[in-house]
Amino acid sequence: MLDEIGGHQINVLSIRGGASSFFPMPEGANLATLNHPKKRWLKQLSLPLEIISAIRNTGPDVVIAVDSVHFFYLAAATGLFPKIRFWCWEHFNALSTLGIRRRGLGRRLASILADAVIVLTTEDRRYWRALFGTSPSRLVVIPNPIPHSSAVASPSEDLSPRDATMDGAQSLPNSCARKTVLAAGRLEEQKGFDLLLRSWALIPQRNRAGWLLKIAGEGRLKSELEALAFELGVRDSVEFLGYVDLSYEMCVSDIFALSSRFEGFALVLLEAVSAGLPCVAFSCPSGPKEIVDHGRSGYLVPPGDTVSFAKRLNGLMQSDDLRDKFGEYSAISAERFAWPMVRRKWAELL
């Protein structure tokens, strides 16, 4: 990211893990690790001191805590290096700590000590103002860009946008002969796939004929969700894909559904919009309201309202023209999340 803005030396300090990155590192970037064990509390006490030592050794101009939970460990350093700017880069929404108390403490410390707090949405900016009293001048909204790749797990091959794949439709699996509603994410409570299945069951069976609901991803609730699909009488029209190449599935799908109870940004929804898919999403905190243009690229539904979700989904399923119209606008609206637009925001902050 920063290497593409130009003129910056990047040093990455990992709290845990080895001295290699799962993701490709830009040329010239340095990666170091403190290799801290996750569950040894006494060892955690030394972490701020080790971070201070790393800062002293590298002499950076800017230090970014990636995720507010890490600002908890960085806070002590802010008073020792007055010439360095300290930023907190929030990767979720301020309403949720995901059960990690240090995340909430990190946010409170960042609201006082950070030179800038970078949030993903204007909605989350409001949460930081309301919950922590963070100064508006220090709150900066920079969304995530459209990902270079949209593989849920092991990617197979790079694919062109969905309109470019239709030439190969004759080679698709038999299941693709049916029109598809796609959903994707971890099979956990947060993602609300139980709500999606209940919404799917509310659509009249005659309207579901010829349609398939595909759910991509794995998680601890898989067995429960499969059982729920049987209980609701929709198992024959639901396919649990597991880990797949999501870019491919978006290419061959007709609608995308996001049923999350809460999100940080809903990056998978942005991927769907950029792929030209019309979307139906719960307007949960936070992200969907800034990605989906209600009535133009898709529909936003009150959180947890399965009746309204089913109604909107059914409406899209029954209208080829509406899907085409929404899908065309989706691809255009996603351009504001393209990397050049996001890069400009980072360059202005730097």
Q: Cα separation of 142 and 140, whole Å?
A: 6
* Better-scored residue on pLDDT, 201 or 4: 201
**214 and 74 within one domain:** no
* Better-scored residue on pLDDT, 13 or 115: 115
**19 and 56 within one domain:** yes
**182 and 308 within one domain:** yes
**Percent of the chain scored above 70 by pLDDT?**
87
Q: Which long-range contacts (CB under 8 A, 24 or more apart) does 60-68 make?
A: 60/11, 60/84, 61/85, 62/86, 62/87, 62/350, 63/87, 64/88, 64/89, 64/118, 65/89, 65/106, 65/110, 65/114, 66/91, 67/91, 67/92, 67/103, 68/92, 68/103, 68/106, 68/107, 68/110
Domain final position from 82, 106, 141: 141
**46 and 170 within one domain:** no
**194 and 323 within one domain:** yes
**166 and 136 within one domain:** no
Q: What is the CATH number of the domain that holds 192?
A: 3.40.50.2000
Q: Cα separation of 111 and 105, whole Å?
A: 10
**243 and 129 within one domain:** no
Q: At residue 159, does pLDDT exceed 50?
A: no
Over range 114-121, report the average pLDDT: 97
Domain count, the chain: 2
12's tokens: 């990455």
Q: What is the pLDDT of residues 247-267, one digit of tens each?
A: 999 999 999 999 999 999 999
The conformation of residue 259, written as its DSSP 8-state character, comes to: -
Q: At residue 185, does pLDDT exceed 60?
A: yes
**123 and 27 within one domain:** yes
Q: Cα separation of 270 and 256, whole Å?
A: 10
Q: Cα separation of 27 and 214, whole Å?
A: 39
**112 and 83 within one domain:** yes
- Is the residue at 212 inside a domain? yes
- The predicted structure's pLDDT at residue 169: 38
Q: Cα separation of 43 and 101, whole Å?
A: 18
Residue ranges making up the domain that contains 101:
2-141
- The predicted structure's pLDDT at residue 252: 96
Q: At residue 65, does pLDDT exceed 60?
A: yes
- Is the residue at 170 inside a domain? yes
CA angle 224, 93, 244 (to 5 degrees): 45
- Is the residue at 349 inside a domain? no
**317 and 267 within one domain:** yes
Mean pLDDT, the chain, whole residue set: 88
- The predicted structure's pLDDT at residue 321: 97
**170 and 123 within one domain:** no
